[in-house]
Chain A
């Protein structure tokens, strides 16, 4: 198959499969991610979303922003739903009732992935469906008004863990879902960021070509929930990578590889200080929390470096 080179000039000629006019907030990270993923795919895609911001804003009443087949059935079951469609595809293909090569991709929020949809996701991955599960992680239940999820970072202020005079925001560290998915021993797991579009699209391409269950976790800035500027989605996702808050790596058949190493690892406060949800951490009495966030990031980054093969090792 002739593939479009991952160059802006060529990609700009491709049809964008999520139309403008959807009702996500301006500057939202989620639709940027959807567009990048669909641009990377050279195959027809059937998509599925769990209930959440992307879902409620992209298909309302008689209007849809999706130019590809798309289904939403509920909040907690996108993986099982698309697994059903993928299974039907295999059944019909086996019987010669369908001949096209079709790919199956979910676009789900962190709530629908880390929390309520976790069992359904884990089950679908274990069963080995040929599907790519993409989580756009904006770190809270945004659609229902910024409630904490298990993806909400430590210290963040949300409407259910508000920073108050006694409790300074969320007291638990985020669940490391990417690692948990890698522990499912599926063929491909990756973390990506829309700031690094080429890295993101390469990962999508790779994932799509691999048969079996794939999982990608993509950071998705949400200016409403993060209380940041509407034009900062790309800047913030870049800072998330450069501070190693959101390392870009992949785990392919069990081998961990860091795909983008920041030239200079920036302090995490560079990422935090642009977001209102962390504002209270900059009060003198919460300095210990900022320290803890930095320490955790440093530790996790060290662990990732240890787990990852270096390029030299790879050459061997």
Chain B
């Protein structure tokens, strides 16, 4: 059986990577990810993994090296945060365009300027169109579990796509939580042997990877990427079912919390969902039918399923820890797109919270739920998009 431990998010993900034992891992330090790869590097130094670690000179080279390594024909991982992910931007599209199942924990961090090392979701949200699968994690346990499942999802022969596993910088990466590690052999059996597809290192069957594709074919390549994304949901659910068998923990495309009969709800990603759930409970105690939806699979986005889960609400607040300046928050854009096709849909508002590590406090969730109560009462809302927790 597994082992109950007290671990930080970074420690837990490093442990998952140790158990998975990738063939190649590229690393470059960036707060708050750094200590994850430091831990992994000591596994390498102490002979606890077979992995060849590449301590590259930038995140751009980390992703480039992962591309070369994965194309070579083996299992590959890296990890990053904020500006590191931003520096990889061009290569993220190359990794997905080449259909390379690289797994990358992203310890979410804000982007400059001004420089800020703390957590928000600007980094991963900026990469949401890059063709990577994105799994989001509320706590260290989910980050650990998602990392293990990510390899199975990305490496699935019908999928072959890179996967980001998102966890909140500092709040999760550096906080110690009680959680469970699975046994090494259980993880090993779960992730299975790596199967390569058209490996570059097969010198007997030479392949050219990364051609120039002109307008006569490029469009079809991109549609193929779209089409493979439509298969991801089923694979995520299948893998989750297998994972439940080894862990007893259930995963879906998203988590719903007291949502079945709810009239108002918040939609919120990652660690802040934990805080918000407490306040949902408080409102329930007051007799208010509050609920919560926490997306797990953000790319591909499960539009129909989210719409189905939220359709009976009267009002919903979609909370973003990232902004698309001049637009609505990225999560709001997805959820409102999901709900738009319904004839009857809840009133939707968008709150931007917690940028650059600004704490998301219980009272913030309270204010939001109070506002939703008011919206339901009056049938009116004051504004769609608003910052909360701002010092005026």
- In the bound assembly, the distance between CA atoms of A280 and B67 in angstroms comes to 45
Which of B48-56, B134-142, B316-324 makes up part of the contact surface?
Answer: B48-56
Residues of A close to B51: CB separation below 8 A: 91
A185 close to B (CB within 8 Å): no
Q: List the B residue with the shortest CB-CB distance to A75.
A: B90
Interface string of A55-81 (1 = CB under 8 A from B): 110011110101111111110110011
Residues of A close to B1: CB separation below 8 A: none
- In the bound assembly, the distance between CA atoms of A83 and B56 in angstroms comes to 10
Which B residues between 149 and 196 are near A, CB-CB below 8 angstroms? none
Contacts known (A68-B206, A70-B209, A102-B203); A80 close to B52, Cβ less than 8 A = no
Residues of A close to B202: CB separation below 8 A: 69
- In the bound assembly, the distance between CA atoms of A151 and B54 in angstroms comes to 30
Q: List the B residue with the shortest CB-CB distance to A76.
A: B60
A77 and B91 contacting across the interface, CB-CB below 8 Å? yes
A87 and B69 contacting across the interface, CB-CB below 8 Å? yes
- In the bound assembly, the distance between CA atoms of A70 and B68 in angstroms comes to 10
- In the bound assembly, the distance between CA atoms of A64 and B205 in angstroms comes to 13
Q: List the A residue with the shortest CB-CB distance to B206.
A: A69
Residues of A close to B206: CB separation below 8 A: 66-70
Residues of B close to A183: CB separation below 8 A: none
Name the distance in Å between B22's Cβ and chain A's nearest Cβ: 9
Contacts known (A69-B203, A70-B206, A73-B64); A85 close to B57, Cβ less than 8 A = no
For A, the interface residue count at a CB cutoff of 8 angstroms equals 47
Which of A120-128, A241-249, A293-301 makes up part of the contact surface?
Answer: A120-128
Which A residues between 1 and 60 are near B, CB-CB below 8 angstroms? 44, 46, 48, 55-56, 59-60
Residues of B close to A64: CB separation below 8 A: 208, 211
Which of B125-133, B213-221, B222-230, B345-353 makes up part of the contact surface?
Answer: B213-221
A84 and B208 contacting across the interface, CB-CB below 8 Å? no
A74 and B94 contacting across the interface, CB-CB below 8 Å? yes
Contacts known (A61-B212, A82-B68, A84-B69); A89 close to B201, Cβ less than 8 A = yes
A92 and B73 contacting across the interface, CB-CB below 8 Å? yes
- In the bound assembly, the distance between CA atoms of A186 and B212 in angstroms comes to 33
Name the distance in Å between A102's Cβ and chain B's nearest Cβ: 6
A263 close to B (CB within 8 Å): no
Contacts known (A68-B203, A83-B68, A89-B201); A127 close to B56, Cβ less than 8 A = yes
B61 close to A (CB within 8 Å): yes
Residues of A close to B23: CB separation below 8 A: 88, 91-92, 95
Contacts known (A61-B217, A73-B94, A126-B57); A84 close to B65, Cβ less than 8 A = yes
Cross-chain contact of A91 among B55, B74, B211 (Cβ < 8 A): B74
B116 close to A (CB within 8 Å): no
- In the bound assembly, the distance between CA atoms of A87 and B90 in angstroms comes to 22
A85 and B200 contacting across the interface, CB-CB below 8 Å? yes
A119 close to B (CB within 8 Å): yes
Q: List the A residue with the shortest CB-CB distance to B208.
A: A64
Interface string of B65-93 (1 = CB under 8 A from A): 11111111110100000000000001100
Residues of B close to A119: CB separation below 8 A: 57-58, 61
- In the bound assembly, the distance between CA atoms of A144 and B371 in angstroms comes to 56
Residues of A close to B26: CB separation below 8 A: 84
A120 and B72 contacting across the interface, CB-CB below 8 Å? no
Interface string of B3-28 (1 = CB under 8 A from A): 00000000000000000000110100
Name the distance in Å between B102's Cβ and chain A's nearest Cβ: 10
B212 and A59 contacting across the interface, CB-CB below 8 Å? yes
Residues of A close to B213: CB separation below 8 A: 60-61
Name the distance in Å between A1's Cβ and chain B's nearest Cβ: 16
Q: List the B residue with the shortest CB-CB distance to A126.
A: B57
B358 close to A (CB within 8 Å): no
- In the bound assembly, the distance between CA atoms of A120 and B216 in angstroms comes to 32
For B, the interface residue count at a CB cutoff of 8 angstroms equals 45
B207 close to A (CB within 8 Å): yes
- In the bound assembly, the distance between CA atoms of A213 and B202 in angstroms comes to 22
Q: List the A residue with the shortest CB-CB distance to B67.
A: A73
Residues of B close to A120: CB separation below 8 A: 57-58, 60-61, 64
Cross-chain contact of B200 among A46, A67, A91 (Cβ < 8 A): A46
Which A residues between 206 and 243 are near B, CB-CB below 8 angstroms? none
A59 and B208 contacting across the interface, CB-CB below 8 Å? yes
B54 and A127 contacting across the interface, CB-CB below 8 Å? yes
- In the bound assembly, the distance between CA atoms of A95 and B64 in angstroms comes to 23
B66 and A84 contacting across the interface, CB-CB below 8 Å? yes
Residues of B close to A59: CB separation below 8 A: 208, 210-212
A90 close to B (CB within 8 Å): yes
B24 and A87 contacting across the interface, CB-CB below 8 Å? yes
- In the bound assembly, the distance between CA atoms of A115 and B84 in angstroms comes to 21
B91 and A100 contacting across the interface, CB-CB below 8 Å? no
Q: Which of A86, A100, A102 has the most CB of B within 10 A?
A: A86
A98 close to B (CB within 8 Å): yes
Residues of A close to B201: CB separation below 8 A: 46, 69, 85, 88-89, 92, 98, 102
Q: List the B residue with the shortest CB-CB distance to A71.
A: B209
A94 close to B (CB within 8 Å): yes
- In the bound assembly, the distance between CA atoms of A72 and B24 in angstroms comes to 19
Residues of B close to A72: CB separation below 8 A: 209-211
B67 and A91 contacting across the interface, CB-CB below 8 Å? no
Residues of B close to A97: CB separation below 8 A: 74
Which A residues between 98 and 121 are near B, CB-CB below 8 angstroms? 98, 100, 102, 119-120
Contacts known (A60-B212, A73-B94, A120-B60); A91 close to B50, Cβ less than 8 A = yes
A88 and B74 contacting across the interface, CB-CB below 8 Å? yes
A61 and B214 contacting across the interface, CB-CB below 8 Å? yes
**Extra pairs beyond A87-B68, A95-B23, A119-B61 (9, CB < 8 Å):** A68-B203, A69-B202, A70-B208, A73-B210, A81-B68, A82-B68, A102-B201, A119-B57, A127-B55
- Please give me the 10 A-B residue pairs with the lowest Cβ-Cβ distance, nearest first: A84-B68, A123-B57, A88-B72, A84-B65, A80-B64, A80-B61, A84-B69, A77-B64, A64-B208, A72-B210
Offer 18 A-B interface pairs, CB within 8 angstroms, sorted by A.
A60-B214, A69-B202, A70-B207, A70-B209, A72-B209, A72-B210, A84-B68, A84-B69, A84-B76, A87-B65, A88-B23, A91-B50, A91-B69, A92-B23, A92-B201, A123-B58, A124-B61, A127-B55
